[in-house]
Amino acid sequence: MKRGGQQEMAPDIKTMGSALGPRMLIDGREVDYFCGTSYYTLHGDPRVIEAACEATRQYGMGPATLMTSPPLLEVVKRATEFFQTESAQYIISGYLGDMLLAQALSDDYDVVFVDATSHYSVFDGIRSTGKRVIPFCHLDAEDLRQKLQENLKPKQTPLVMSDGVFPVTGAIAPLREYVEVLTPYKDGLLCMDDSHAVGVIGEKGQGSLEHCGIQGKNRYLAGTLSKAFGGLGGIIPGSRELMEKISRNVRIPNGASPPSTAAAAASAMGLKILSEHPEMRTQLWSNVSYMRTGLRRLGISVADSPIPIVSVSALATVDLKQVQQGLKKEDILVAYVPPGGYSDAPDTESLRIAVFSSHTQEQLDRLLDALRKLL
């Protein structure tokens, strides 16, 4: 597993001067913002901000353990509706969601098979269970098949875990293939870290399982409300049975404070907005498609995908760091990812362009024009 994180991916870390948006103040300059994970820029939406302020005025910062509050209950209700599950568990961060899921299900599997470039949170989560962990090659269902055959004793049950959408490259895990590979293992489990998938893919925005048409027993996801939904905190939607397993096997909900009132109210509002406005997802896909088509016209090879993370990988003739700096001079911010600079970063340098539903066509064109001049 690669080390590091934010520092390596963004050594020139930036300071906000305004609420997050497609155009915002950063380090004292107004810029077109194409970084991060707020795919609908709901973090800066006035409705989300107002919900956080109003709830904080009414309930203060939070219950300081041992109580719940209407905003916390509202998140669970809205997440349950959004994901069409019986219930949901809301916790302080998406990072801890993988740990919560792996621990909750720990009576149900023996060995964990994990995509080798899964997010740090996946590795930290599965290691906390003390189970054997076998990495398989990135996105490689055939390698998974082989690792299952080589490492499982008769009657042992596997848990397969991976990011649903990878944070740097935007790759979608081949879940239908994983399910096919799991067929001989009757009770085999599949758990997705769906932080970048929830709110984004699937007909109803329910994430990678929905996107790949996978339903039913032993299929789980841990999501976050800190990205597409414009709030903060981890969300694990699921059955009542899963919630019972969480109460039985996991100490996080009892041992850690819940998300703050502001975070809960903002998250509930983000869930409400995205549920009531499916056209925001259509707009996101339209912007993503526009950006990918525009890049291809510049001769840059990019995947054909609905994911708003557009990865431009190493080009023979240009230094991508210089391209990123050139864009910055034009007040356009994209992320430069050094080789191996994040959990799934390629071994060569790349640019990560985050496309938002709120980017205007002028902004998308401005970025494409600037890239054309720099490449």
Q: Which is nearer to ligand PLP, 94 or 294 (CB)?
A: 94
- Which of 43, 119, 211, 292 binds ligand PLP (CB under 6 A)? It is 119
Contacts of 107 (CB under 8 A, 6+ apart): 245, 249
Which of residues 165 and 364 has its CB atom nearest to ligand PLP in the complex? 165
Rounded to 10 degrees, the C-alpha dihedral 165/271/9/329 comes to 120
Q: Based on the shown chain and the rule CB under 6 A, indicate whether residue 121 belongs to the binding site for ligand PLP.
A: yes
Q: Minimum CB separation from ligand PLP for residue 329, in Å? A: 27
- Mask: binding to ligand PLP, 82-101, rule CB under 6 A, as x and -? -----------xxx------
φ, ψ for residue 354, nearest 5 deg? -95, 125
Nearest distance in Å: CB 155, ligand PLP? 32
Residue type, 13: I
Helix ranges restricted to H, the chain: 6-9, 46-59, 70-83, 95-104, 120-127, 141-151, 175-182, 208-211, 240-249, 252-255, 261-276, 279-297, 320-329, 361-374
Q: Give the separation between CA 325 and CA 134, rounded to whole angstroms.
A: 39
Q: CB of 227: closest distance to ligand PLP in angstroms?
A: 7
Whole-Å CA distances, 305 to 50, 200, 202, 211, 292: 34, 12, 12, 12, 8
Least gap, CB of 169 to ligand PLP (angstroms): 11
Does 169 interact with ligand PLP (rule: CB under 6 A)?
no
Report residue 223 as tokens: 């999501």
Q: Pairing mode, if any, of strands 234-238 and 309-313? A: unpaired
CA gap 38, 41 in Å, rounded? 5
Site for ligand PLP, residues 221 to 250, rule: CB under 6 A: 224, 226, 234
For position 167 contacting ligand PLP by CB under 6 A, the verdict is: yes
Q: Given the rule CB under 6 A, which of 42-50, 188-196, 252-260, 285-293 is the region that contacts ligand PLP? A: 188-196
Nearest distance from C-beta of residue 25 to ligand PLP, angstroms: 23
When the beta carbons of 136 and 166 are compared against ligand PLP, the nearer one is 166
Rounded CA separation 241/239 (Å):
5
Count of chain residues binding ligand PLP (CB under 6 A): 13
Q: Is 261 in the site for ligand PLP (CB under 6 A)?
A: no
User: Which positions from 28 through 67 interact with ligand PLP, judged by CB under 6 A?
Assistant: none
Please say which residue, 114 or 148, places its beta carbon nearer to ligand PLP: 114
Instruction: Considering the complex, state which of residue 43 and residue 147 has its C-beta at the smaller distance from ligand PLP.
Output: 43
Comparing C-alpha atoms, which of 368, 341, 369 is closest to residue 353? 368
Q: For residues 196 and 344, give the distance between their C-alpha atoms in angstroms, rounded to a whole number.
A: 13
For ligand PLP, give the closer residue by CB, 167 or 346: 167
- DSSP 3-state of 314: coil
Nearest-approach distance from CB 207 to ligand PLP, in angstroms:
12
Whole-number minimum distance, CB 121 to ligand PLP, in Å?
Answer: 4
Q: Which is nearer to ligand PLP, 119 or 138 (CB)?
A: 119
Residue whose CB is nearest to ligand PLP in the complex, by number: 94
Binding residues for ligand PLP (CB under 6 A)? 93-95, 119, 121, 163, 167, 193, 195-196, 224, 226, 234
